[in-house]
Chains A and B, each alone.
Chain A
Amino acid sequence: MKKKTIDVVYMDYQATTPCDKRVLEDMTPYFCEDFGNPHSINHVMGLRAKEAVEKARKQVADLINADDPREILFTSGATESNNLAIQGAARFYREKGNKIITSVMEHKCVLEACRALEREGFEIVAIPVLRNGIIDLQSLEKAVDERTILVSVMSVNNEIGTIQPIDEISEICRSRGALFHTDAAQAVGKIKVDASRVDLMSISGHKIYGPKGVGALYVRLKPRVRLKPLFFGGGQERGVRSGTLATPLCVGLGKACEIARFEMETERIRLTELKNYFLKKIFDSLDKVYLNGDENRRIPGCINLSFDGIEGEGIMLGMPDICVSSGSACTSDSLEPSYVLREISIREDLAHSSLRIGLGRFTTFEEVDYASSRIVDVVNRLRAMSPIW
């Protein structure tokens, strides 16, 4: 049998995922045929669109174990969801206190939303992470007080894939009466997430094989969580997120959630096998490679490795057909290495030496095999020219 030659291997599933063809298929009719405005509920075209949007809302709610589909608000993506949750809650509950707690490992959109609030006079506390890439619960416990409006901690870290202790954080928040928001963009569809543990949860479409440009925010109804909108208009989405809903995108997000719900477990098992195979190949061929983040409390599809003696961007340059990412300073515009990696690395330089290898639904054994060989070759070549190896 002739082997298919591989020209490009996509291993950057934390950055984005391809749209599942089943998702696209469900979306298609809502562009040109059933194009009605889902808010025009007095005619059949509008009603058809509304029905599709409501079905999608239910599909999203089912995946995250939300009690009521009305708790799901559609947004343009996780960045908007995070901004709406954090700024919306902070501004609505301003009389309650002025403290917002987050963690140092959050996505930029969370940290920047907090920074914007800081300029408005809110007090922002960023909780550190431990060496294993898990939030320091003791510091969190000390920080949350009765003046705390909101705690925002991600469910799964986007760089190293560590799963955060959502149940424990939830208990801390509830015992102090603080709202709990989680950015679950990297967790939904990969691990079981439970809306009953949180008050607000952000979801992204394109991280779970849905389309780009759509996301959702879970907003608890009982007891009701209130938010100040970020912008104003027709008062759609419970008055919190104005603007005509993008029916095809909502349908796509819903379908992506439905697929994830049914295939999550088999996918998790398959990705664990692929991950183990990949790591064995790397560790068998190379010395001094370190897995970043807790060995067990992680999702299988996100592998973050530091290759001692060489620099991450340098590795990527040697294999442009292998699509991965790096926490190295040289891949960021700011020339700052990944903060998370700097925090958890055993040596400061190892943050520069990292690669994030993302496996997902369409990754094959052949691809993992090929990519690991390419990585080994480039690492060996660069180590031979490194003054610190």
Chain B
Amino acid sequence: MEYSKEVMDRYNDPKNVGSLDESDRNVGTSVVGAPSCGDVIKLQIKVDENGKISEAKFKTFGCGAAIASSALITEWVHGKSLEEAKTIKNKEVAQYLSLSPVKAHCSVLAEEAVDKAIENYLIKNQSEK
């Protein structure tokens, strides 16, 4: 598989690998994909008092495109409000990384991971109010 420089940079030196405290009420967590399908992304966001994403971490089981897509999207959500983060589309990720059509599902998974992490954060904070 031939990848763009953007993919290789993120595969070789991904920013934001790691995890956040899942029990923290300011942290939203998502796990998307399935091991049997060959891709799993765990993505976490931390939301500050201004409602902005102050930290985003990921761990990914998958190919180069899956790792790069999750790394890139954690870079992009950083500093954004939840509303802004939700507007990031998989097409933008795929385009930025020059993913081939066969790898497009990796960017779909990354978008889903962000949406689910936001959802998790919102549910958590709703029930605790």
* Chain A residues whose CB sits within 8 angstroms of the CB of B61 once the complex forms: 309-311, 349, 386-389
- The reply to whether A348 and B63 contact each other, CB–CB distance below 8 Å, is no
- The reply to whether A311 and B17 contact each other, CB–CB distance below 8 Å, is no
Residue in B17, B59, B63 whose beta carbon sits within 8 Å of that of A314 in the complex: B63
Cα separation A387 to B38 with both chains bound (whole Å): 12
Cα separation A314 to B59 with both chains bound (whole Å): 13
Known: A311-B38, A330-B38, A331-B1. A387 touches B63 (CB 8 A): no
Greatest chain B CB density within 10 A among A317, A384, A389 is at A317
Q: How far is the CB of B72 from chain A (nearest CB, A)?
A: 14
- The reply to whether B36 and A387 contact each other, CB–CB distance below 8 Å, is no
Closest to A337 in B: B38
Cα separation A320 to B33 with both chains bound (whole Å): 26
Greatest chain B CB density within 10 A among A337, A385, A387, A389 is at A387
Cα separation A309 to B60 with both chains bound (whole Å): 10
Is the CB of A333 closer than 8 A to any CB of chain B? Answer: yes
Known: A311-B62, A314-B62. A387 touches B41 (CB 8 A): yes
Cα separation A293 to B89 with both chains bound (whole Å): 42
- The reply to whether B31 and A387 contact each other, CB–CB distance below 8 Å, is yes
Chain B interface size band reads 20 to 34
The prevalent SS among residues of A at the interface is: loop
* Chain A residues whose CB sits within 8 angstroms of the CB of B63 once the complex forms: 311, 313-314, 317, 328, 330
Q: Provide the B45-84 mask, 1 if CB < 8 A to any CB of A, else 0.
A: 0000000000000011111111100000000000000000
- The reply to whether B35 and A385 contact each other, CB–CB distance below 8 Å, is no
* Chain B residues whose CB sits within 8 angstroms of the CB of A385 once the complex forms: 14, 17, 59-60, 67
Is the CB of B3 closer than 8 A to any CB of chain A? Answer: yes
Is the CB of B114 closer than 8 A to any CB of chain A? Answer: no
Q: How far is the CB of A181 from chain B (nearest CB, A)?
A: 34
- The reply to whether B102 and A387 contact each other, CB–CB distance below 8 Å, is no
- The reply to whether A386 and B60 contact each other, CB–CB distance below 8 Å, is yes
Is the CB of B116 closer than 8 A to any CB of chain A? Answer: no
* Chain A residues whose CB sits within 8 angstroms of the CB of B12 once the complex forms: 318
Known: A330-B1, A331-B1. A317 touches B38 (CB 8 A): no
* Chain A residues whose CB sits within 8 angstroms of the CB of B31 once the complex forms: 387
Residue in B60, B66, B102 whose beta carbon sits within 8 Å of that of A335 in the complex: B102
- The reply to whether A328 and B38 contact each other, CB–CB distance below 8 Å, is yes
Q: How far is the CB of A311 from chain B (nearest CB, A)?
A: 5
Is the CB of A329 closer than 8 A to any CB of chain B? Answer: yes
Which residues of B1-42 have CB atoms within 8 Å of chain A's CB atoms? Answer: 1, 3, 8, 11-12, 14, 17, 31, 35-42
- The reply to whether B17 and A388 contact each other, CB–CB distance below 8 Å, is no
Closest to A330 in B: B63
* Chain A residues whose CB sits within 8 angstroms of the CB of B41 once the complex forms: 387
- The reply to whether A313 and B1 contact each other, CB–CB distance below 8 Å, is yes
* Chain B residues whose CB sits within 8 angstroms of the CB of A255 once the complex forms: none
- The reply to whether A349 and B102 contact each other, CB–CB distance below 8 Å, is no
- The reply to whether A317 and B11 contact each other, CB–CB distance below 8 Å, is yes
Greatest chain A CB density within 10 A among B17, B62, B65 is at B62
Q: Provide the A308-351 mask, 1 if CB < 8 A to any CB of B, else 0.
A: 01110110011000000000111101010100000000011100
Closest to B7 in A: A317
* Chain B residues whose CB sits within 8 angstroms of the CB of A207 once the complex forms: none
Cα separation A185 to B64 with both chains bound (whole Å): 32
Cα separation A352 to B3 with both chains bound (whole Å): 19
Residue in A314, A333, A337, A387 whose beta carbon sits within 8 Å of that of B64 in the complex: A314
Known: A330-B1, A333-B102, A387-B59. A349 touches B38 (CB 8 A): yes
Cα separation A384 to B14 with both chains bound (whole Å): 12
- The reply to whether B36 and A314 contact each other, CB–CB distance below 8 Å, is no
* Chain A residues whose CB sits within 8 angstroms of the CB of B17 once the complex forms: 384-385
Which residues of A53-112 have CB atoms within 8 Å of chain B's CB atoms? Answer: none
* Chain B residues whose CB sits within 8 angstroms of the CB of A348 once the complex forms: 35-36
The 9 closest A-B CB pairs, nearest first, are A349-B35, A387-B42, A330-B63, A352-B38, A348-B36, A387-B59, A313-B63, A317-B64, A385-B17
Task: Please list 7 pairs of residues, one from A and one from B, whose beta carbons are closer than 8 Å in the complex, sorted by A's number.
Answer: A313-B64, A317-B64, A335-B102, A335-B105, A386-B60, A387-B40, A388-B61
Extra inter-chain contacts (12) besides given A318-B11, A348-B35, CB under 8 Å: A311-B66, A314-B11, A314-B64, A317-B3, A317-B8, A317-B63, A330-B38, A330-B65, A335-B105, A349-B61, A352-B35, A387-B31
